[in-house]
Amino acid sequence: MIGMVGETQIAAVGIANQVFMLFSMFLFGICSGSGIFISQFWGKKDTENIKHVVGIEIFSALVVSALFTLAALLFSVNIMGIFNKDAEVLLYGSKYLKLVSISYAFTAVTFCFSFALRCTEKAVYPMIVSAVALLGNTFLNYVFIFGHFGFEAMGVEGAALATVIARFIEAVLIAAIVYRKNKILAPNLKDIFIINGAFFKKVYKTTVPVLLNEVCWGLAFVIYSVAYGRIGKEAIASIQISSTVQNLFMIFCFGMANASGVMIGKRIGAGNEEEGRDYAHRFAVLSVFTGIFIGFMVLISGPLILGFFNVSQGVLRDSYAVLKIYSLAMPLKVFNIVSIVGKLRGGGDAKQAFIIEASTMWLIGVPMAFTGALLFRLPIYGVVALTTLEEAVKFMLCMYRLVSGKWINNLVKNF
Q: Do 176 and 123 lie in a common domain?
A: yes
Q: Is there a domain that residue 414 lies in?
A: no
Q: Do 262 and 322 lie in a common domain?
A: yes
Spatial contact of 120 and 45, defined as CB atoms under 8 Å apart = no
Q: Do 153 and 70 lie in a common domain?
A: yes
Number of Cβ atoms within 10 Å of the Cβ of 232: 14
Burial class (CB within 10 angstroms; exposed 0-12, middle 13-18, buried 19+) of 162:
buried
What's the Cα-to-Cα distance from 139 to each of 104, 134, 161, 232, rounded to whole Å? 20, 9, 12, 32
Q: Do 268 and 119 lie in a common domain?
A: no
Q: Do 154 and 92 lie in a common domain?
A: yes
Distance from C-alpha of 69 to C-alpha of 50, rounded to nearest angstrom: 28
Per the structure, the complete domain to which residue 104 belongs is given by 1-203
3-state secondary structure at position 378: coil
What pLDDT is stored for residue 355 in this prediction? 94
Q: Do 166 and 247 lie in a common domain?
A: no
Q: Is there a domain that residue 210 lies in?
A: no
Instruction: Look at residues 249, 225, 222 and name the one whose alpha carbon lies nearest to residue 237.
Output: 225
Distance from C-alpha of 49 to C-alpha of 202, rounded to nearest angstrom: 12
* Residue that is last in its domain, among 203, 224, 250: 203
What pLDDT is stored for residue 112 in this prediction? 94
- Helix crossing, 273-306 with 313-337: angle to 10°? 170
What pLDDT is stored for residue 217 in this prediction? 79
* C-alpha Rg value of the chain to the nearest Å: 21
Q: Is there a domain that residue 127 lies in?
A: yes
Q: Do 183 and 258 lie in a common domain?
A: no
Q: Is there a domain that residue 41 lies in?
A: yes
What pLDDT is stored for residue 182 in this prediction? 84
Spatial contact of 251 and 29, defined as CB atoms under 8 Å apart = no
Q: Is there a domain that residue 385 lies in?
A: yes
Q: Do 261 and 180 lie in a common domain?
A: no
Q: Is there a domain that residue 357 lies in?
A: yes
- Helix crossing, 87-100 with 156-181: angle to 10°? 20
**In the chain, how many domains are there?**
2
Instruction: Look at residues 248, 251, 265, 216 and name the one whose alpha carbon lies nearest to residue 116.
Output: 265
What pLDDT is stored for residue 415 in this prediction? 67
Q: Do 352 and 263 lie in a common domain?
A: yes
Q: Is there a domain that residue 272 lies in?
A: yes
Task: Tell me which amino acid residue 39 is.
Answer: S
Instruction: Look at residues 253, 251, 243, 222 and name the one whose alpha carbon lies nearest to residue 331.
Output: 253
Q: Is there a domain that residue 213 lies in?
A: no
Q: Do 98 and 197 lie in a common domain?
A: yes
Q: Do 180 and 278 lie in a common domain?
A: no
Torsion of CA 321, 326, 328, 334, to 10 degrees: -170
Q: Do 255 and 362 lie in a common domain?
A: yes
The stretches in the chain having pLDDT less than 50 are: none
Predicted model pTM: 0.77
